Structure 1
Amino acid sequence: MWKTYAAAFTVTLFAAALLFSPETGLRAAIYGMDIWWKTVFPSLLPFFILTELMAGLGVIAFFGSLLSRFMQFFFRIPGPAGVTWMLSLASGFPSGARMAARLRAEHSITRIEAERLVAMAHSSNPLFILSAVASGFLKNPEAGFLLAAAHYGGAFLVGLTMRFYGGSKKGKAKTVASGPLTAFKEARKKDGRVFGTMFADAVLSSVQTLMLIGGFILFFSVLTALLNEYGAAAFFFSLAASQETSMPIVRALFAGFFELTSGVQLSSSTSISSNVSLLLISAILGFSGLSVHAQVAAIISSTDIRYGPFLVARVFHSFYAVILTLWLLSYPFSFPAVSLSFIPERGMFITVLFLGAASLLLAFRYSKSREKRA
């Protein structure tokens, strides 16, 4: 019961702080909204829709059958889960958790396998690392591949570590007896929807998940701003920072603990040396911030997947990424300079376009349901 009292007290305190500082909350909410509808929504939406279509059409089952032995040997997860992991590397978080929750809801994987998958299928979008972080925040395109190598290398090591989670008895994957074509046909037959209905469902489901993600981004942006406004952050800084020179590092870690983008942006400050900035960014990207953690927890809450293994895996990911970054910095590797530019206005246009399309689809479905009831 004490957890309920603590949660009620915390939420009430947060609401009071927001009432007394509405301008701070508004500025932070606008900042979070700007990140969501210009960058997060347009970068994740295509992957969400495509993975829904691939699952419905049987493509994931097909490649899952091909990759089954490889994934069992390295990560102790079945083939379809391995396809999910590879897709999550390209799409970014929290798409891995979303696809894992779907596989678990369909009973395609066991709970232990789902927890392994959620723990390892969690990495940043490469567009964010190469464009926003390297070219935008750091103004150093050469650092993009170094950060990406450390981040995705850390994700691979997390997968190897999580293969030992759950023991040898629980969560043993089912062997795939059917061939790729048979698995493809069975998955398509099991779904049974025509392509038009499948596409509409994919758009609606993807937009719904992204609205949830947007809510968490806004909430944690406001929370971080209020902690800074009322001195909670300054109190933590006074305890953690023994020297004035270490204050920017502590500020970056504090912000990154709550919200990834803010932490990465502060880590790119000119007051922090370039090598330390890269180490901080790798650590923050590996942990990914409580805002993303809350998104994953909300997505898996409809299943029996537990949050604990995911949290432990993020600590491992942060540690592995920092070690790999140190190793890459200690050797004279030459990484190519890749300067990607994502124009925010284009992202905003895509967001508005798909929100409008989703609204039309919802209205069409509602009218159809009314006709059936009549």
Structure 2
Amino acid sequence: MVRLLWTVCALAFVISMALYPRVVFDGAALGLKTWWNIVFPALLPFFIASELLMNFGVVHFMGVLLEPVMRPLFNVPGAGSFVMMVGFFSGYPIGSMVTARLRSEGLCTRIEAERLMSFTNNSSPLFMLAAVAIGMFNNPKVGLLIAGAHYLSNLTLGLGLRFYGRDGRERYPGPPHRDGSIIRHAFQRMLQVQREDRRPLGKVMGDAVRSAVTNLLNIGGFIILFAVIIRLLTTAGVIDALAGILGMLLLPLGFAPGILPALGSGFFEMTIGSKLASEAAAPLIQRVTAVGMILAWSGLSVHAQAASMIAETDIRMKPFIMTRLAHTALAGLYTYLACSWFAPLEEATAPAMAAAGGWQALAPYTHAKIFGFFLAILAGVILLALLAHLAGSLRLFFLRLKR
């Protein structure tokens, strides 16, 4: 039945392309422009660097070194710290790609891979701070609020996901425990991986570049495909219908009707949805919150990219999609609270701010306040996670005493 449904969708897509060739061409051109001008130059260096670092054993080094940190906080192996690093600094869908690599090399269990994949897929900081804040809102402060809420909500989910699948039978043994310096053992593990890889340096670099370009071509295909789908669905009125469904949930919360079409488009592709949200006829705080929600959901285009990255592993997509829904709600809440605290501009201060450039006229100490706000929330969440870990450890200790 599932294959039959996909067959019907494919036939409908082909018929729509035949009926609206101009719409298809415009959508494909927009998708290609987005991929070539934004995604390709932003992700290619990170893809190559991540491949090289994994080939040189850096992920094994971090696995030994950071096992005492990653295990109590996120209940994942120390190698997951490498996934977090590249996932938080490079953007979608590199977290899925590196997670799949860890799973294929046996460095984590399936449950741990699903945890990692669920909270290490983030929007690129370059996209949020440059493309969204400056390119769409013409305001750097917006980027700080969106990025802070985006990362904080994902870390919150990562700390909560430590309880997901705790009854799984598969166990990753982790690095062997040895006496002596953990740093020395981490270096020994990295050198061991380098000795086992017999390829010459030129071959290693060539394979890294080839793999990175292949993955980016795959991503570009998904971006172009979903850009075309969005144009066709907009022409057919499906986006407006989806906006109406979202309106039943969001209008009672006070969202302006003008923001709904942007959220409907962002359901499929985040870049187009973010652009529409920044231009919507709605209060500034709602437009910023909508962009935060769209980036957290990331769009079906990114979901398809992530699915293609893990296609050859046993990692399941369901936890990833459920986490994206939770990330959407949490990022929207954090973004709204941050905007309400730092920049309640719409009514009282908007006229005075307009002449001075809006949020750019805020005092310089606002950066420190924003950073302190998100840092305080993160510290509280980490403290709760550590208390939960301590409670679990004490429970196991007393159960062993009873036995």
Distance (whole Å) between structure 2 residues aligned to residue 241 and residue 317 of structure 1: 19
Match of 1:250 among 253, 260, 264: 260
The residue type equivalent to 1:216 in the other structure is F
Question: Per-residue deviation at 1:236?
Answer: 3.6
Partner of 1:221: 227
Match of 1:182 among 188, 191, 205: 188
Based on CA coordinates, which of the two structures has the bigger radius of gyration?
A: 2
Partner of 2:296: 286
Partner of 1:322: 332
CA separation of 1:297 and 1:22: change in aligned 2, threshold 3 A: same
Partner of 1:154: 153
Distance (whole Å) between structure 1 residues aligned to residue 324 and residue 277 of structure 2: 19
* Equivalent runs, 1:34-45 vs 2, <5 Å: 34-45=33-44
Question: Per-residue deviation at 1:220?
Answer: 0.4
The residue type equivalent to 2:77 in the other structure is P
The residue type equivalent to 2:115 in the other structure is R
Question: Per-residue deviation at 1:175?
Answer: 2.7
Distance (whole Å) between structure 2 residues aligned to residue 238 and residue 67 of structure 1: 47
Question: Per-residue deviation at 1:270?
Answer: 4.9
Is 1:113–1:171's contact at 8 Å kept on the other side of the alignment?
Answer: no
Question: Per-residue deviation at 1:240?
Answer: 5.0
The CA deviation string for residues 90-129 of structure 1, in whole angstroms up to 9 with x for no partner, is: 0111000000111111111111111111111100110000
The CA deviation string for residues 67-99 of structure 1, in whole angstroms up to 9 with x for no partner, is: 111000100111111221122100111000000
**Aligned with 2:121: secondary structure?**
coil
CA separation of 1:161 and 1:329: change in aligned 2, threshold 3 A: same
For normalisation by structure 1, the TM-score amounts to 0.86
Partner of 1:123: 122
Question: Identity of aligned pairs, percent?
Answer: 36
Matched, 1:78 2:74: no
Larger relative contact order (Cα-Cα within 8 Å, sequence gap ≥ 6): 1
Matched, 1:305 2:315: yes
Matched, 1:196 2:202: yes
**Aligned with 2:140: secondary structure?**
coil
Distance (whole Å) between structure 1 residues aligned to residue 242 and residue 57 of structure 2: 51
Partner of 2:355: none
Partner of 1:349: none
The residue type equivalent to 1:77 in the other structure is V
Distance (whole Å) between structure 2 residues aligned to residue 9 and residue 157 of structure 1: 39
Question: Per-residue deviation at 1:192?
Answer: 2.6
CA separation of 1:175 and 1:234: change in aligned 2, threshold 3 A: closer
CA separation of 1:247 and 1:46: change in aligned 2, threshold 3 A: same
Question: Per-residue deviation at 1:33?
Answer: 0.2
The residue type equivalent to 1:218 in the other structure is I
Question: Per-residue deviation at 1:237?
Answer: 4.0
The residue type equivalent to 2:32 in the other structure is M
CA separation of 1:332 and 1:238: change in aligned 2, threshold 3 A: closer
- Give the superposed CA RMSD: 1.8
Is 1:112–1:170's contact at 8 Å kept on the other side of the alignment?
Answer: no
**Aligned with 1:142: secondary structure?**
helix
Distance (whole Å) between structure 1 residues aligned to residue 108 and residue 92 of structure 2: 20
Question: Per-residue deviation at 1:251?
Answer: 0.2
The range that moved more, 232-241 or 95-104, is: 232-241
Is 2:259–2:281's contact at 8 Å kept on the other side of the alignment?
Answer: no
The CA deviation string for residues 114-158 of structure 1, in whole angstroms up to 9 with x for no partner, is: 111111110011000000000011111111111110001011112
Is 2:246–2:264's contact at 8 Å kept on the other side of the alignment?
Answer: no
Distance (whole Å) between structure 1 residues aligned to residue 87 and residue 48 of structure 2: 13
* Equivalent runs, 1:88-127 vs 2, <5 Å: 88-127=87-126
**Aligned with 1:176: secondary structure?**
coil
CA separation of 1:233 and 1:174: change in aligned 2, threshold 3 A: same
Is 1:97–1:300's contact at 8 Å kept on the other side of the alignment?
Answer: yes
Partner of 1:51: 50
Distance (whole Å) between structure 2 residues aligned to residue 235 and residue 83 of structure 1: 41
The CA deviation string for residues 176-226 of structure 1, in whole angstroms up to 9 with x for no partner, is: 126201211222123332211010000000000000000000000000100
The CA deviation string for residues 240-272 of structure 1, in whole angstroms up to 9 with x for no partner, is: 5478x9432110110000000011011101512
The residue type equivalent to 2:220 in the other structure is G
Question: Per-residue deviation at 1:238?
Answer: 4.9
Which consecutive segments of 4 or more residues in structure 1 shift more than 6 A? none
Distance (whole Å) between structure 2 residues aligned to residue 238 and residue 81 of structure 1: 40
Unaligned regions of 5+ residues in structure 1, if any? 338-374
Partner of 1:272: 282
Unaligned regions of 5+ residues in structure 2, if any? 179-184, 344-364, 369-403
The residue type equivalent to 2:210 in the other structure is L
Question: Per-residue deviation at 1:165?
Answer: 0.9
The CA deviation string for residues 4-61 of structure 1, in whole angstroms up to 9 with x for no partner, is: 2211111101110011101100000000000001110110010110111111111121
**Aligned with 2:79: secondary structure?**
helix
Is 2:115–2:164's contact at 8 Å kept on the other side of the alignment?
Answer: yes
Distance (whole Å) between structure 1 residues aligned to residue 129 and residue 245 of structure 2: 34
For normalisation by structure 2, the TM-score amounts to 0.80
The residue type equivalent to 1:304 in the other structure is D
The residue type equivalent to 2:90 in the other structure is S
Question: Per-residue deviation at 1:317?
Answer: 1.3
Distance (whole Å) between structure 2 residues aligned to residue 130 and residue 239 of structure 1: 31
Distance (whole Å) between structure 1 residues aligned to residue 72 and residue 296 of structure 2: 25
